[in-house]
Amino acid sequence: MAAKKTTTKKRPEYTLMDKHTKAIVFGYQQRAIQRMLDFDYICRREEPSVVAIVNPTREGTHKCFWGTKEILLPMYRTLAEATKHHKEADFMVNFASFRSAYPTTKEALETNTIRTVAVIAEGVPEHRTKELIRIANNKNKWIIGPATVGGIAAGGFRIGNTAGQLDNIVASKLHRQGSVAYVSKSGGLSNELNNIIAMNTDGVYEGVAIGGDAYPGSTFIQHMMRYEKNPDVKMMVLLGEVGGTDEYEVVEAIKKKKITKPVVAWCIGTCSKVFPAEVQFGHAGARAGADRETADAKNKALKEAGAAIPKSFDDFDEQIKKTFDKLVKSGKHKPIPDVEPPIIPVDYAVALKQGMIRRPTQFNSSISDDRGEELRYCGIPISKIFEDDYGLGGVIGLLWFKKKLPKWATKFIEMVVLVTADHGPAVSGAHNSIVAARAGKDIISSLVSGLLTIGPRFGGAVQGSADHFTKFLYAGEKPAFMVKDMKNKNINIQGIGHRIKSVTNPDVRVEIMKNYALKHFPNTETLDYALAVEKLTTSKRNNLILNVDGCIGVLCCDMLRGIGYTREQVREFVDLGILNAFFVLGRSIGFMGHIMDQKRLNERLYRHPWDDILYLMPDKPEVVK
Amino acid sequence: MAQRGIREYDGKKMLAKNWSDYFSTDFKYPGKIVLVDPTTKLDDLPKKYPWLNKEKLVVKPDQLFGKRGKHGLIKANATFPEAKNWIKERMNKETTVGKVTDKLTHFLIEPYVTHDKEFYVAIKSNRQGDTIYVSNHGGVEIESVWDTVAEIQIPVDQDIDKITIEKHLPKDTPKDKQKMFASFIKGLFKFYKDLGYAYLEINPFVVSGNNIVPLDLVARLDDTAHFESGTKWGDISFPAPFGRKLSKEEQYIKMMDEKSGASLKLTVLNSKGRVWTMVAGGGGSVIYTDTIVDLGYREELANYGEYSGNPSTDETYEYARTVLDLMTREKDPKGRPKFLLIGGGIANFTDVAKTFTGITMALRDYKKKLKDTNVKIFVRRGGPNYQEGLRIMRELGKELGIPIEVYGPETHMTRIVNMALEGN
């Protein structure tokens, strides 16, 4: 949505926020922004109240809802840019942290366009707030907060998260203007005030929570003087607090008739007198030093000045009602009628939670779950994985097979990883990784460059042997048939044959794996079959032995059988490439070793020597006619 | 998070540590000072601080209360063995100061400085800036000589170097000290501002040769300034005020509070009281407590309790158990019912039903004890999903056979206080 450059008509001095207010939100508070826009929507505002977002880490746009439609809000990295493009914004809702609340608020106060800054952060150093107050006073600007939820102009503008959920807002009639304005120290109680005022009068006109700090950016009296000047405000409610003396400014103003509209007031913390020693209440400012700062003293002074004061908070509602009814009875005020709010669109997440809607999922996952308190692999919390010493094999069991594997199987998986981890720098995968690493590529690119060579010719024998042997074994064919059939088809049996090793010079890796399986596996049918085949092939040539790839291939199939899979299921695993998975897993260790080795050796770009290449270029191309 | 008192020791140590950054080299503060706590091995101290055996000493408790002289809690002009004995006699002993009683646990030892004149300086934060108070009549309660105090208001954006402090000193300031005091006050002011102090009072300080020595110092830091000034503060603590001895349960909740991102507060005022509160929200909890007191049930008020800031189910469970345990330990001697007020305002975005989960778990645990001690429960809460939360509570009452009355936002927040106590 393009930024509207319309200038809103000049508002009276006493209005800080209304249904024309345009705000910049500092800080990427997506939910608060949506809440502001939702409030706009139920107030039937013509245009969104948020015109731009300042997000120091990203610029661009932010997508959010405007009713049921989606709109884009511009997002800038700096406030300077946001204000340059959005001169119509005279309000900033500052969600900066306690660390950056000071510089960002200062910057906002020093702009030509922003008049009011609501500072949400709690924990802004007092001397910094005092500096901000000074700047605001000099420039005739306003600060609401720090340490506040903000405030609300009923039917017009909501600061951030003020007034809670939409259903509460509607229940408190905040979607349309009433005639009672309040100012409170506590933001947490503002919902309660909205509720009390809605139930006992024609509703809230505006409410501000000035925040719990010792030096709030604006004080009770400043807001009450605005309310006094505003003809739409018919009465005021003040909710003060133990600690500080700011309430006495209101006392003085009432006495001097600077405030003439009815005021209902109450200072909370009357219980402080029953506490033996200093008990810190929630707010930084809530601590009675001198007698004057006690809630009792303030309530008394307010009462003497002429404000309506309840006996306790318990009849605060009655006092408000009484005061309002008197206004109406005297004919000075005609209650503002209720307005039906538009239907509030329900957020998908909320509706889902309440069981109101459903939607088919587009993704299934059955091995792990990262939601909830702890990550789980196939139902096992990660802490348990370590407690019970699952190890690498155990975790592979959970994530690849969704099984808690017995020790013989997890140990075998780990053996496979160890045995396949590396085969020196000369094999094609390692070589590729090294060449890529030496070309200055990153570790992932170099690794992938090596992995991409794995296939029918390199490393693929693991997969191939599993495929070949199970195919004949499961079909019920004799080993002799397999040898003959493959010969007839002119296909080498994968996993058979070695360049150097032979019957008389066996491969130690094969011996280890084989012996382990024979000792520990419940079933070695594929190995037995392969060994029977080996017997036939080695009778033809000494080096046509079951090699390490073949051994791993067939043993993996036996392991799968041993952990409870049927032959059909084993074939499924073979077809989906599980043997390659084992090989890739193991060999990645070696590839990454080679890559880091090359980088640490500071090897330069590899260029294959000319004299190692037979150049066969013809003198001229064959001409195609 | 607010202005918080610090130990005299920490204030003086900070002054000594940062002295060269803020004060002219014409005068010095040697900063000889030792803090003794219950773990200090007194006999080992002179190895680290040889001056203890070479100079006469002053010893006094350092636990955020004043008027120590009046209460006989200053030992002056003492040798180290004398000081040691004096501390040993008092360490971990209950002592009454004014109206409060607590254990003495922290003492500070400093050299005893002979002097003839005592001066007063204080700086206090206010909305417009800071006020400096100076008097040449320190060492006494300053209110009693208030007419000798000069006040200098320094506005927020005022550079103190552009003020001629000499002109603002009290008229009776000795001529030979004017320059020194003006320079000291400027330095102290910059120190105060830079380090995020909200209040700093030295009453008195004395001049001894080239040294300016603060004899007694009271200070409050704005603890929110930690991220700006923490390195200059050094490793300091904010001790609980004297007299705030925590019971085992209060200690437990305090520990949870410190560990948690949420806020959990518990103060037991009268464990025999019949009215217990467990209220969500800082403001709300104060209002409930207020109302109990204001309706005239001060004697029956058992505790002040608050949970807020979205505590976890575990945390509310533990919190509720602690309160329930305290309130069901014994029956009311007159056989009257006890009341548990599970109150709160209208939550902004906290799921009310969820926060009740921990509480209902605890109520189930204490079913028998709640019945035995004749507890009646009143609930009032609003906010997201409150209908579900209230339903859970209502069902729980039926399930446990305990009277639980349940109200939502349509009922005035504190009306349940009235209902419970006045039967209205």
CATH class of B3-30+115-232: alpha beta
pLDDT digits (tens, 9 = 90+) for A130-153: 999 999 999 999 999 999 999 999
In what order do the strands lie in the sheet containing A60-66? A60-66, A69-76, A50-54, A23-26, A91-94, A116-119, A142-144
Alpha carbon distance A415, B205 (integer Å) = 78
Residue A456 belongs to a domain with what CATH number? 1.10.230.10
Considering only CB atoms, which chain B residues are within 8 Å of A163? 348
Chain B positions touching A311 (Cβ under 8 A) are 294
Q: How confident is the model at residue A399 (pLDDT cuts 50, 70, 90)?
A: very high
CATH number of A279's domain: 3.40.50.261
**Residue A552 forms part of a structural domain:** yes
Q: Is the pLDDT of residue A289 over 90?
A: no
Q: Kindly state whether residues A432 and A286 are assigned to the same domain.
A: no
Q: What is the pLDDT of residues B372-381, one digit of tens each?
A: 999 999 999 9
Residue B67 has pLDDT above 90, yes or no: no
Closest residue of A to B124, CA-based?
Answer: A127
Query: What is the rounded distance in angstroms from the CA atom of residue A568 to the CA atom of residue A593?
Result: 37
Whether A420 maps to a domain, the answer reads no
**Based on the domain organization, do A118 and A225 belong to the same domain?**
yes
Range of the domain at A281: 23-329
Tell me, what's the pLDDT at A60?
96
CB contact under 8 A, B284 and A192: yes
Substitution target in A31, A119, A314 with the highest count of B β-carbons within 10 Å is A314
- The pLDDT of residue A5 is 46
User: How much of chain B exceeds pLDDT 70, in percent?
Assistant: 100
Instruction: Collect all residues of chain A within an 8 Å Cβ-Cβ radius of residue B243.
Output: 276-277
The CATH number of domain B248-422 is 3.40.50.620: no
Token output for A213: 């700090």
Q: In Å, how far is B110's CA from the nearest CA of chain A?
A: 29
* Phi, psi at A20, each rounded to 5°: -105, -5
- Banded pLDDT at A284 (limits 50, 70, 90): very low
Here the tokens at position A504 are 């008389």
Mean pLDDT across A105-115: 98
- In the CATH hierarchy, which top-level class contains the domain B34-111? alpha beta
Single-letter residue type at A131? E
pLDDT band at residue B1 using 50, 70 and 90 as cut-offs: low
A55 lies in the same domain as A186: yes
Instruction: Provide the terminal-to-terminal Cα distance of chain A, rounded to the nearest Å.
Output: 61
Compute the count of residue pairs across chains A and B with CB atoms less than 8 Å apart.
Answer: 176
Provide, as residue numbers in chain B, all residues whose Cβ is less than 8 Å from the Cβ of A284: 1-3, 224
Contact across the interface for A274 and B269, Cβ inside 8 Å: yes
Domain coordinates in residue numbering, chain B:
3-30+115-232, 34-111, 248-422
Helix (H) or strand (E) holding A209: strand A204-209
Nearest to B295 among A186, A277, A312 (CB): A312
Residues 6+ apart with CB under 8 A from B169: B134, B150, B178, B181, B182
Q: Which of A304, A329, A354 is the last residue of a domain?
A: A329
> Between A196, A214, A284, which is nearest B412 by CB?
A196
Overall average pLDDT of the A356-379 stretch: 93
* A441/A587 same-domain check: yes
Rounded-to-integer distance, Cα B71 and Cα A272, Å: 26
Give tens-digit pLDDT for A414-424: 999 999 999 99
- Write the pLDDT tens digit of every residue in A448-504: 999 999 988 888 889 999 999 999 999 999 999 999 999 999 999 999 999 888 888
State yes or no: pLDDT of A408 exceeds 90.
yes
Residue of A nearest to B385 (CA): A354
Contacts of A285 in chain B (CB under 8 A): 2
Given a cut of 90, is residue A163 above it in pLDDT?
yes
Is the pLDDT reported for residue B337 higher than 60?
yes
CA gap B104, B96 in Å, rounded: 10
Cβ–Cβ of B286/A127 closer than 8 Å? no
Q: List the single residue in B100, B301, B348 with the smallest CB-CB distance to A191.
A: B348
Q: What is the pLDDT of residues A84-98, one digit of tens each?
A: 999 999 999 999 999
The strand ranges marked E within B227-319 are: 263-268, 275-280, 303-308
**Closest Cβ–Cβ partner in A125, A164, A313 for B222:** A125
- pLDDT confidence bin for A287, thresholds 50/70/90: very low
> Catalytic residue numbers of A?
283
Give the DSSP letter string of A143-185. EE-SSS--EEETTTEE-TTTT-SHHHHHHTTTTS--SEEEEES
| Co-location of A255 and A134 in the same domain | yes
Domain count, chain A: 2
CB contact under 8 A, B196 and A125: yes
Tell whether the model's pLDDT for residue A10 goes beyond 80: no
Contact A215 B127 (CB under 8 A): yes
pLDDT in tens, A24-48: 999 999 999 999 999 999 999 999 9
What pLDDT shows up at residue A278?
A: 54
Token pair for residue B202?
């030295």
Query: What is the pTM for the complete model shown?
Result: 0.80
CB contact under 8 A, A274 and B417: no
Q: How far apart are CA A374 and CA A383, in angstroms?
A: 8
Over residues B264-281, the mean pLDDT reads 94
Residue that finishes a domain, picked among A278, A311, A329: A329
Q: What confidence score (pLDDT) does residue A283 get?
A: 52
**Predicted complex: ipTM over 0.90:** yes
Task: Sort out which chain B residues have CB atoms less than 8 A from A99's CB and list them.
Answer: 227
CA distance A462 to chain B (A): 51
Per the CB < 8 A criterion, the answer to whether A49 and A21 are in contact is yes
Residues A593 and A458 placed together within one structural domain of the fold: yes
Residue A526's CB is within 10 A of a number of other CB atoms, namely: 26
pLDDT tier at A363 (50, 70, 90 boundaries)? Answer: very high
B414: closest CA of chain A, how far (Å)? 5
Indicate whether A520 belongs to any domain: yes
Length of chain B: 424
